[in-house]
Amino acid sequence: MAARTVTDPKELAIFEVRDLWAYYNEKPAIRKVSLKIPEKKITAIMGPSGCGKTTFIRCLNRLHELTPGASIKGEILLRDKNILEMDPVLVRRKIGMVFQRPNPFPTMTIYDNVIAGYKLLGVRLKREEADRIVEEALRKAALWDEVKDSLHKRGTYLSGGQQQRLCIARALAVKPEVLLMDEPTSALDPKSTAKIEELIVELKRSVTIVIVTHNIAQAGRVADYTAFFYLGELVEFGPTSEIFTVPKDPRTEEFLKGKFG
């Protein structure tokens, strides 16, 4: 079934995905998905478990192909350049990612975690510059006030919600064009979740966000655009308000009503 891509023509697309197929050992997990992801907006990828949401965003920074037996076919244009033909390492420097479970580097301090993107790449930063990047990233991630006095403690001392915001700061510190978030609140309590959602909305001023969520309400709260995936196919894509009020596909409607998922 052909996917309906209803991107608002006024928006500028940062990603254009064309006929994307993704496989695990020859078995397709993403089937011929095409969509345009608008710049400086929040796009939610929604759908029941096993529908290919996570696989889809892992294609966008080419983490998918690291899974043994996995492969990709199609085109993913980032500002008109096909990232499938670029060096994956360079792609990942432009496209940050936040994972389901907070994963700060356990051997590093909060400070070092934030500039890990530079340290691990062997980029030497001047002291003042590093300080500035750390503060800026932590402020953007709404964590600065909580950790400014304990920057040199291990990142793993923080609470789950704080760790996740630290991971967001780590991703932001390298100034990515896009931030991918793979169910970033699924391991967190409601209070931390609310804080992260607030933060996500705040962040779209500076970065494009693609967020995977199986939580319908979350997509409704944060996303400008929503894509509904089912069994590896893109069923419907459009402005969140439209998808939620007048879904065009009966499967979307059933999912929103909670019939499956």
Closest to other proteins by CB, 23 or 105: 105
Q: What six digits make up the tokens of 70?
A: 């996995």
Closest to other proteins by CB, 178 or 196: 178
Least distance to other proteins from the beta carbon of 97, Å?
4
Least distance to other proteins from the beta carbon of 34, Å?
24
Least distance to other proteins from the beta carbon of 213, Å?
18
State how far the Cα of 145 lies from the Cα of 179, in Å rounded to an integer. Answer: 23
Cβ burial, residue 3 (10 Å; 0-12/13-18/19+)? buried
Least distance to other proteins from the beta carbon of 106, Å?
5
Least distance to other proteins from the beta carbon of 122, Å?
7
Q: Which residues bind other proteins (CB under 8 A)?
A: 61, 63, 66, 68, 89-94, 96-97, 99-101, 103-107, 116-117, 119-122, 154, 156, 167, 170-171, 174
Name the residue among 229, 215, 147 with its Cα closest to residue 187.
215
Least distance to other proteins from the beta carbon of 87, Å?
9
State how far the Cα of 84 lies from the Cα of 72, in Å rounded to an integer. Answer: 8
State how far the Cα of 79 lies from the Cα of 250, in Å rounded to an integer. Answer: 33
Closest to other proteins by CB, 117 or 238: 117
- Report how far apart, in Å, the C-alpha atoms of 136 and of each of 38, 148, 154, 181 are: 25, 12, 19, 20
Closest to other proteins by CB, 113 or 240: 113
Cβ burial, residue 123 (10 Å; 0-12/13-18/19+)? exposed
Closest to other proteins by CB, 40 or 93: 93
Q: Are 170 and 111 in contact (CB under 8 A)?
A: no
Q: Are 14 and 178 in contact (CB under 8 A)?
A: yes
Closest to other proteins by CB, 176 or 247: 176
Task: Give the list of residues 6+ apart from residue 27 with CB closer than 8 angstroms, or none.
Answer: none
